[in-house]
Amino acid sequence: MAVIGTGLIGGSLALDLRSNGFTRRLIGVERNPEHAEEALRLGLVDVVCSLEEAVSAASLIVVAVPVDEATRLLPLLLDRVGGGHTVTDVCSTKRALRDAVANHPRRDRYVAGHPMAGTEYSGPAAARPGLFAGRIGILCDTAFSAPDAVRLVEAMYAALGMNLVLMDSDRHDLHTAYVSHLSHVVSYALALTVLDKERDERQIFNLAGGGFASTARLAKSSPAMWTPIFQHNADHLMEAIDAFQERLTSFRAAVARGDASALKSLIDRANEIRRILDRS
């Protein structure tokens, strides 16, 4: 198999799929020379080669690059593949990719995927084994993909220990706007607020507790990855930001009034998230 992009997600896929015997040979495609060298040194891939060489040598091709690059790359890949190839991706938004290949004659060789796993780190050194185990793997619009291609990608997700969920691209992008993309916006905004108002970095370091660290953790995430995600999912993300802003306004009003009852009510309602998050 070939992995285009050997960073956190592509590299972690490679680690697990090699160790569990899903694939015998891993081909990397990486345009960043430093990342290519690092991926080889870390043993994430066996060889790094050109896109053309990877397509000719691999039957399964995983696109693990930022969504703006993937949108440009996916039609070019489908131009080069035949009936024995399967192409999938790991991008966090799906509609732009769906639209980019909607009328492609080899559309059926593409299976839209999104493994819901990650960390705030990036690059080959961020790759780690077991990243996907027990997490959700989403496949989108599978009715437009060839059955054998879907089965192969399902087998890949099973080999990673993921639990499969099927949905269409529109539902995917709506739900990820709230449960994934909004979290990053909030984290970035929190980090900016503290950096703007707390001029003494020593105080940030000395006073930051676990709550701040866990909430601001995502602010360390790569702008190269998250900028295009926000752009490609702008309509759903704006809706999510507006809804979040309404809740912030409710908290602000209760704090301004010194209204303990309203604050407690808001916090009690928020605590209901335990029912969902504590299931694991």
Cα 125 to chain centroid, rounded: 17
The domain ranges of the chain are: 2-167, 172-277
Give the type of residue at 61.
Answer: I
Contact 124, 44 (CB under 8 A): yes
pLDDT band at 27; cut points 50, 70, 90: very high
What integer is the mean pLDDT of 249-263? Answer: 96
For the segment 161-212, what is each residue's pLDDT rounded down to a tens digit?
999 999 999 999 999 999 999 999 999 999 898 888 766 666 665 555 567 7
pLDDT attached to residue 201 = 63
What is the dotted CATH code of the domain comprising 172-277? Answer: 1.10.3660.10
Q: Do 2-167 and 172-277 come out as alike in CATH topology?
A: no
pLDDT attached to residue 186 = 95
pLDDT band at 61; cut points 50, 70, 90: very high
pLDDT attached to residue 212 = 73
pLDDT attached to residue 173 = 97
For the segment 89-117, what is each residue's pLDDT rounded down to a tens digit?
999 999 999 999 999 999 999 999 999 98
- Compute the distance between CA of residue 88 and CA of residue 80 in angstroms, rounded to an integer: 14
> Is residue 11 pLDDT above 90, yes or no?
yes
> Is residue 10 pLDDT above 60, yes or no?
yes
Q: What's the half-sphere exposure (Cβ side, CA atoms, 13 Å) at 180?
A: 22
> Is residue 228 pLDDT above 90, yes or no?
yes
Dihedral sign computed on CA atoms, order 27, 29, 33, 35? negative
CATH fourth-level superfamily of 2-167: NAD(P)-binding Rossmann-like Domain (3.40.50.720)
How many other CB atoms are found less than 10 A from the CB of residue 223? 11
Q: What's the half-sphere exposure (Cβ side, CA atoms, 13 Å) at 215?
A: 12
Query: What are the residue ranges of helices labelled H in the chain?
Result: 8-19, 33-41, 51-57, 67-80, 95-100, 147-159, 169-176, 182-197, 201-207, 210-216, 223-232, 234-257, 260-271, 274-277
Which residues lie across from 111 on neighbouring strands?
88
pLDDT attached to residue 203 = 60
Give the type of residue at 104.
Answer: H
pLDDT attached to residue 200 = 64
For the segment 115-150, what is each residue's pLDDT rounded down to a tens digit?
998 878 889 999 999 999 999 999 999 999 999 999
Percent of the chain surpassing pLDDT 90: 82
Q: Which of 56, 55, 70, 68 is closest to 10 using CA atoms?
A: 70
Contact 160, 152 (CB under 8 A): no
- Compute the distance between CA of residue 218 and CA of residue 186 in angstroms, rounded to an integer: 9
Mean model confidence pLDDT for the chain: 92
For the segment 46-58, what is each residue's pLDDT rounded down to a tens digit?
999 999 999 999 9
Q: Show the CA angle centred on residue 115, arms to residues 106 and 99, nearest 5°.
A: 35
- How many residues can be counted in the chain? 280
pLDDT attached to residue 135 = 95
pTM summary value: 0.89
R_g of the chain, CA atoms, integer Å: 21
pLDDT attached to residue 77 = 96
Contact 114, 165 (CB under 8 A): no
